[in-house]
Chain A
């Protein structure tokens, strides 16, 4: 099992550009999450998906959109990137109904100039 994979690992964008961060898990988990990590602020939830076809906003959803393409994949899109979106983005997954660990991907380091 590869666990949770994320692409790309690094990305530099100019203000106003768009891009999609990809996330996939091979553990047959129901729920998937997108977080951003900023220094001194811990991890903040952007969006989550409790099951295929459903998505909900988290703590900091503005400027982002998500798609739960199927059970395996959960993508995060920045339509018009801003410098405030410079961050490290983590995807995670968990089996719904089980109080268990969230499995995290390795992260995408995004810089918006």
Chain B
């Protein structure tokens, strides 16, 4: 069974500071990994995805994530936080054998301090 663990249900950073949201996965097969963002009262939107092509993945809005197999991690980063980044972020995993079902983490709410 696959799972993801997001460390920290709430993260606060100052505007302009580094954003680091943590995600560790557990999978018995090579995984596909995703980060989604949810703005207040909206559905989820894909930020980026890892599908084994490259370990450093760049997404929208200046976010990127690095797949580290040795650490079973897929942490999300952004060099400089912006007020518009305030949202909830979800890490998700699926296997790469045609199973499209996603398993989501419990989410991290990001607050930006002016």
Contact = CB atoms under 8 A, between A and B. Distances in A.
Contact of A42 (B94, B101, B107): B107
Interface in B81-114: 90, 94, 96, 98, 100-102, 104-107
Contact of B49 (A48, A101, A105, A106): A101
Nearest to A104: B43
Interface footprint category on A: 20 to 34
B17 interface: no
Which of B42, B96, B102 counts the most A-chain CB atoms under 10 A from its CB? B102
Interface footprint category on B: 20 to 34
Contacts of B44: 43, 90, 92, 102, 104
Contacts of A53: none
Given A99-B51, A99-B96, A40 B45 contact: no
Nearest to A59: B103
B25 interface: no
B34 interface: yes
Nearest to A105: B43
A97 B102 CA distance: 14
A104 B102 contact: no
Contacts of B51: 99
Nearest to A109: B41
A70 to B, nearest CB: 19
B56 interface: no
Contacts of A35: 104
